[in-house]
Chains A and B, each alone.
Chain A
């Protein structure tokens, strides 16, 4: 196995007095896609926010073996989150959203930014067509493309994706996941949380099952996808098969 890019150990986090994560541990190796699956309310979004430093965290989050810092420090170190809400700049154009995605690299040469944008447009030609439209006018699939594109503009090393399939048609989910697999071949590491367990485990190298703020199961994703408990709980078809 290659070196660990992200190490999470005994992570606890929550909102106010409510503890959501009860000591979560996981790793993301460089160049891997790691999936975290689990039902609504399991703490998936909290986990992403805590890793990113959006929530106060107890326990260990390490990036390249160095303790992870604030959100700004994470972004500067090449960790970019695409949140469940997408958090697009709705009243700004697609082009401006992408431009702001490159904000962490604003001191880099202009050609560098143009190259990143060319890459994004090559991945998502639709964004090139709509570059002058406001983000608010995009369809659900296009919004997710823009959210991914904005994240890629920062040329990240580790991409955190919170429910990338949320509200998308199966065809578009397949397209998006194909892009993710493609990104991995270019050396990008991805940590994604998904409710759509099957789609997520299909492209992932390794998977974790999160339930009530705890990791209850982990393993290579091909094994997890066929684990009877996962099928029963998350795919709902256990009783028939």
Chain B
């Protein structure tokens, strides 16, 4: 065990401690898109708790509790922030906590707290650095394993939507704010574990390792390693720790002077590296490391067992939406019955997508009511409307381009699952997960995507991507389906397949509202057509009637007169 010189063992310990923080930061920044310049603060809170309660378990518990509470409170704010606001907010608390560590009399300022005893595991003392380092790397392994479990779960899929696809996620029934806060707390708790181990490993603490600079270094690790990859976090942590030590060692020897050369050289290396590989090291190394094949589960049940009761699915009355001076919708009223396909047509810019966004809860109307199966849904958040049985696709396809078709479709099955973050971390969600994936595969089979499940969604042609969105929507087992230009970019045969599928769904009692420009497709398929122009409904009726309406010809077909 003591083949390595003590110096290297210590270095391995620091690398492991950094890796634990970096794994949490990968979940937070890399996967969920929340940039934090404040992780060192969380390390510090737990480290000080361990120093003040040096017996081990109570220090750990106190550290986790304090960090968790601090993160939860900060999370109330940060979970709603995006981009630079969050980054700056984290700088703010990073500086504040650092100042706190340096000023609170209890923490002995920059003199620090020494004499922290080594950890004991039962009768076993971890005073020997090698044993301590082994424990640290054991924790790294556990954190990796649990995080991997998380990322291949229902919650993990939902986490990937937090970076830039929140509106889509909400329409799949995902509570993004709550999820963002949960990830934030989880990352803070991982930092806390690292802080606890750090205090007992170094046995002396002072504010310096918990400064803003340290937080930035954690972020360097994650970005260099490859922001969205767990393996990259460990790689980055080791690389940064070793590189910094080596530079501290070598640069003064080369230049013959001491000073900030190593920090400079290190940062220069970061700059040069990021310019060449902005996505980090891991994607370059791990050439498509084979993903675990999801197990085939029991054949999926049909999307809906109980037939949908007859009745009115959607009622829109006097709907009005103004953007500043622009009226996108003006007093639009119409309704859809179950088992009916209604097409909403009109020139680009007529207000169709706005209407979709209002019905599905992405936008609040200026006036008017929307009833879904008899319930008023105006001002209900999109995820609540989704839970009532509405699913939709988007005109500008909203898929996670880097994820597989299977995972994208399974996002639609979010509401069919219950397992949360904890169960996912402990891998207690496998039965449910298999059920959700089976549902996704069944939906894929229905739309004819079953041979593309493992492809990255972003690699499909645009028309196919629209079909992935339809499969994702079907996964919600909706009673009302809103399709925004489903046939755009499809070949003739694919359009016919899509039409056949929609007829089948209609036969099962589903109500379908679709926006479409392909007149051949619309007129063949729809039971009724609603025509909009300049935010107003200008005609409604059977396809043949609408097609002969002079007002429609004038508006939609571009001025025949």
Whether B520 and A169, one on each chain, are in contact in the complex, defined by CB atoms closer than 8 angstroms, is: no
Whether B461 and A170, one on each chain, are in contact in the complex, defined by CB atoms closer than 8 angstroms, is: no
Known contacts A170-B555, A198-B557; is-contact A163 B461 (Cβ 8 Å)? no
Whether B458 and A170, one on each chain, are in contact in the complex, defined by CB atoms closer than 8 angstroms, is: no
Whether A165 and B462, one on each chain, are in contact in the complex, defined by CB atoms closer than 8 angstroms, is: no
- Chain B positions within 8 Å of A23 at CB level: none
CA distance A174 to B560 in the complex (A): 11
Complex interface residues of chain A between 158 and 183 (CB less than 8 A to chain B): 163, 165-170, 173-174
- Chain B positions within 8 Å of A19 at CB level: 461
Whether B523 and A236, one on each chain, are in contact in the complex, defined by CB atoms closer than 8 angstroms, is: yes
Query: Is there a chain B Cβ closer than 8 Å to A196's Cβ?
Result: yes
Whether A174 and B559, one on each chain, are in contact in the complex, defined by CB atoms closer than 8 angstroms, is: yes
Whether B458 and A16, one on each chain, are in contact in the complex, defined by CB atoms closer than 8 angstroms, is: yes
Complex interface residues of chain A between 207 and 228 (CB less than 8 A to chain B): 212
Query: Is there a chain A Cβ closer than 8 Å to B479's Cβ?
Result: no
- Chain A positions within 8 Å of B325 at CB level: 137, 139
Query: Is there a chain A Cβ closer than 8 Å to B417's Cβ?
Result: no
| Contact for B517 among A40, A137, A173, A232, CB less than 8 A | A40
Whether B558 and A199, one on each chain, are in contact in the complex, defined by CB atoms closer than 8 angstroms, is: yes
Closest B residue, CB atoms, query A84: B348
Q: How far is the CB of A84 from chain B (nearest CB, A)?
A: 9
- Chain B positions within 8 Å of A170 at CB level: 554-555, 558-559
CA distance A169 to B533 in the complex (A): 9
Whether A236 and B520, one on each chain, are in contact in the complex, defined by CB atoms closer than 8 angstroms, is: yes
Complex interface residues of chain A between 76 and 134 (CB less than 8 A to chain B): none
- Chain A positions within 8 Å of B518 at CB level: 39, 233
Whether A199 and B462, one on each chain, are in contact in the complex, defined by CB atoms closer than 8 angstroms, is: no
| Contact for B489 among A41, A168, A197, CB less than 8 A | A41
Complex interface residues of chain B between 429 and 471 (CB less than 8 A to chain A): 458-463
Query: Is there a chain A Cβ closer than 8 Å to B347's Cβ?
Result: yes
- Chain B positions within 8 Å of A166 at CB level: 347-349
| Contact for A237 among B460, B547, B559, CB less than 8 A | B547
| Contact for B547 among A41, A165, A232, A240, CB less than 8 A | A240
Known contacts A17-B458, A174-B559; is-contact A233 B348 (Cβ 8 Å)? no
- Chain B positions within 8 Å of A196 at CB level: 347, 558
- Chain A positions within 8 Å of B347 at CB level: 165-167, 195-196
- Chain A positions within 8 Å of B544 at CB level: 240
| Contact for B488 among A18, A40, A163, A236, CB less than 8 A | A40
Whether A42 and B489, one on each chain, are in contact in the complex, defined by CB atoms closer than 8 angstroms, is: yes
| Contact for A173 among B460, B523, B558, CB less than 8 A | B558
Whether B519 and A235, one on each chain, are in contact in the complex, defined by CB atoms closer than 8 angstroms, is: yes
- Chain A positions within 8 Å of B460 at CB level: 18
Whether A140 and B458, one on each chain, are in contact in the complex, defined by CB atoms closer than 8 angstroms, is: no
| Contact for A236 among B348, B458, B547, CB less than 8 A | B547
Closest A residue, CB atoms, query B463: A41
| Contact for B520 among A163, A199, A232, CB less than 8 A | A232
How big is the B interface, by class?
Answer: 20 to 34
Closest A residue, CB atoms, query B491: A212
Q: How far is the CB of A135 from chain B (nearest CB, A)?
A: 13
- Chain A positions within 8 Å of B522 at CB level: 236
Residue-by-residue, is B245-266 near A (CB-CB < 8 Å gives 1, otherwise 0)?
A: 0000000000000000000000
- Chain B positions within 8 Å of A238 at CB level: 520
| Contact for B558 among A20, A41, A165, A233, CB less than 8 A | A165
User: Of residues A40, A165, A197, A235, which shows the largest number of chain B Cβ atoms within 10 Å of its Cβ?
Assistant: A40
Query: Is there a chain B Cβ closer than 8 Å to A186's Cβ?
Result: no
CA distance A41 to B547 in the complex (A): 23
User: Of residues B459, B461, B491, B534, which shows the largest number of chain A Cβ atoms within 10 Å of its Cβ?
Assistant: B461
Complex interface residues of chain B between 475 and 506 (CB less than 8 A to chain A): 485, 488-489, 491
Query: Is there a chain A Cβ closer than 8 Å to B548's Cβ?
Result: yes
CA distance A167 to B548 in the complex (A): 22
CA distance A196 to B517 in the complex (A): 11
- Chain B positions within 8 Å of A212 at CB level: 463, 489, 491
- Chain A positions within 8 Å of B548 at CB level: 240
CA distance A212 to B493 in the complex (A): 13
Whether A197 and B485, one on each chain, are in contact in the complex, defined by CB atoms closer than 8 angstroms, is: no
| Contact for B560 among A139, A167, A198, A233, CB less than 8 A | A198
Known contacts A167-B348, A167-B349; is-contact A237 B557 (Cβ 8 Å)? yes
- Chain A positions within 8 Å of B326 at CB level: 139-140
- Chain B positions within 8 Å of A40 at CB level: 348, 485, 488-489, 517
Known contacts A163-B348, A236-B523, A236-B547; is-contact A18 B559 (Cβ 8 Å)? no
Residue-by-residue, is A9-50 near B (CB-CB < 8 Å gives 1, otherwise 0)?
A: 000000011111000000000000000000111100000000
CA distance A20 to B460 in the complex (A): 11
Q: How far is the CB of B4 from chain A (nearest CB, A)?
A: 45
Known contacts A39-B488, A140-B349, A170-B555; is-contact A18 B520 (Cβ 8 Å)? no
Known contacts A165-B558, A174-B559, A233-B520; is-contact A41 B348 (Cβ 8 Å)? no
Residue-by-residue, is B522-561 near A (CB-CB < 8 Å gives 1, otherwise 0)?
A: 1100000000001000000000100110000011011110
- Chain B positions within 8 Å of A139 at CB level: 325-326
- Chain B positions within 8 Å of A168 at CB level: 349
- Chain A positions within 8 Å of B547 at CB level: 236-237, 240
- Chain B positions within 8 Å of A137 at CB level: 325
Whether A199 and B559, one on each chain, are in contact in the complex, defined by CB atoms closer than 8 angstroms, is: yes
28 A-B residue pairs with Cβ-Cβ distance under 8 Å, sorted by A, are A19-B461, A39-B518, A40-B488, A40-B517, A41-B462, A41-B485, A41-B489, A42-B489, A139-B325, A165-B347, A166-B348, A167-B348, A170-B554, A170-B559, A195-B348, A197-B558, A199-B559, A212-B463, A212-B491, A234-B519, A235-B519, A235-B557, A236-B519, A236-B520, A236-B522, A236-B547, A238-B520, A239-B523
The 7 closest A-B pairs by CB, nearest first: A236-B519, A167-B349, A41-B488, A41-B489, A196-B558, A198-B558, A199-B558
**Which A residues form the contact surface with B (CB < 8 A)?**
16-20, 39-42, 137, 139-140, 163, 165-170, 173-174, 195-199, 212, 232-240
Q: 11 other contacts beyond A140-B349, A173-B559, A238-B520, with CB at 8 A cut-off?
A: A40-B348, A40-B485, A40-B517, A41-B462, A41-B489, A166-B347, A166-B349, A173-B558, A198-B560, A232-B520, A236-B557
